[in-house]
Amino acid sequence: ATPTAVMVGTGVGASQGVLIKGGQALESAHKVNCIVFDKTGTLTIGKPLVVNTKLLKNMVLREFYELVAAVEANSEHPLAKAVVEYAKKFRDDEERPVWPEARDFQSITGHGVKATVKNKEIIVGNESLMVDQNVDIPLDAEEMLAEVEGFAQTGILVAIDGELIGVLAISDPLKPSAREVISILKSMKVKSIMVTGDNWGTAKSIAKEVGIDDVIAEAKPEHKAEIVKELQASGYTVAMVGDGINDSPALVAADVGMAIGAGTDIAIEAADIVLMKSNLEDVITAIDLSRKTFTRIR
């Protein structure tokens, strides 16, 4: 393609809300034959909601949620926001709740959070976090987790002073277009893979819903980048689509990194292409545009 064609292509992209950072990104996109999708906020809406709470001990929900929200209020994670939003419902100061102070706040990336609130040690996160923190997971909690994951929801565990007290079910539905986008990509001979930090149960349920056969769950940020590199080593030209800080190493590693516009600044910075409207369909717009610019019809 001529420099003019590239300029036109980039301009057409911009007018459609697909921000292409340079000619190289536009060129690489037409060779893409494999796309790695993040789950949360990329394939799913990314505005998760608490849909169920199970307490294993006798405790007032209002008090339980006060402790949990005090910790999660310090986290930027979409799941944390869901928990805080839900916790507000139990309060009189719902508009501007004042949570108790959380001391020694710790965020364990890809696992959860921990802090001391009202002299109690509160741990909120996934199963592996509980295992790391020496919290026993009773059988009824295991059963609840399995059920929640079967519904394609995420189960979050809460421990207070080393004892597992609650299981939260959080639902983050697929974006309305997700299934169709994956099916169109299939017809374009582009392979789709889902990679997520979420657990295997939930990941498999979501993948089934969206029509993706290849799933990798419980992936740390470095792991996401490694997966991209492995695919490249086996001959694929790889695009990564993501929205989170945890996706940025993979966005950089990919031949084409595509960030969801509504995503975090770090992801947007790491990407070669930004989908400004946050529409998943624009993954296809970007590839189409590149194919039109770089494959001449003879």
Q: Which residues are catalytic?
A: 38
Please list, in sequence order, all residues whose beta carbon lies within 8 angstroms of the beta carbon of residue 75, skipping any fewer than 6 positions away: 107, 113
Tell me the C-alpha distance between 51 and 89, whole Å: 13
Could you tell me the smallest distance in angstroms from the CB atom of residue 212 to Mg ion?
15
- Kindly tell me which of 13 and 48 has the beta carbon lying closer to ligand ADP: 48
Closest C-alpha to 117, from 70, 168, 58, 63: 70
Task: Work out how close the CB of 31 gets to ligand ADP at its nearest, in angstroms, rounded to a whole number.
Answer: 26
- Identify the three-state secondary structure at position 141: helix
Q: Does 196 bind ligand ADP (CB under 6 A)?
A: yes
Q: Based on the shown chain and the rule CB under 6 A, indicate whether residue 246 belongs to the binding site for ligand ADP.
A: yes
The alpha carbon of residue 256 and the mean position of all alpha carbons in its chain are separated, in whole angstroms, by 18
Q: How many residues bind Mg ion (CB under 5 A)?
A: 5
Site for Mg ion in 237-296 (CB under 5 A): 243-244
**166 near Mg ion, rule: CB under 5 A:** no
Through-space distance between the first and last CA atoms of the chain, rounded to whole angstroms: 14
- Sites for ligand ADP among residues 136-195 (CB under 6 A): 154, 156
* Distance in Å, CB of 154 to Mg ion, minimum: 12
Nearer to Mg ion, 9 or 112 (CB): 112
Residue 157 CB, shortest distance to ligand ADP, in Å, is 8
Q: How far apart are CA 77 and CA 110, in angstroms?
A: 10
Pick from 39, 65, 167, 169 the residue near ligand ADP by CB under 6 A.
39
Structure tokens at 213: 């056969």
Q: Please name the amino acid found at residue 62.
A: R
Pick from 106, 120, 96: nearest CA to 75: 106
Pick from 48, 125, 261, 263 the residue near ligand ADP by CB under 6 A.
125
124 Cβ contact list (under 8 Å, min separation 6):
68, 71, 72, 83, 112, 113, 114, 156, 157, 158, 159
Tokens standing for 18? 């697909």
Among the residue ranges 74-82, 93-101, 268-276, 282-290, the one whose residues contact ligand ADP (CB under 6 A): 74-82
Q: Which residues pair with 177 in a beta bridge?
A: none
The alpha carbon of 188 is separated from its chain's Cα centroid by a whole number of angstroms, namely: 25
80 belongs to the binding site for ligand ADP (CB under 6 A):
yes
Residue 261 has φ and ψ, to the nearest 5°, of -55, -35
CA distance 171 to 146: 14
In the complex, least distance from residue 196 CB atom to ligand ADP, rounded to whole angstroms: 4
- Contact between 264 and ligand ADP by CB under 6 A: the answer reads no
**Which one of ligand ADP, Mg ion, none interacts with residue 111, CB within 5 to 8 A by kind?**
ligand ADP
Can residue 48 be called a binding residue for Mg ion (CB under 5 A)?
no
- Is residue 87 at the binding interface for ligand ADP, with CB under 6 A as the rule? no
Per CB under 6 A, residues contacting ligand ADP are: 38-40, 72, 75, 77, 79-80, 110-113, 124-126, 154, 156, 196-198, 244, 246
Per CB under 5 A, residues contacting Mg ion are: 38, 40-41, 243-244
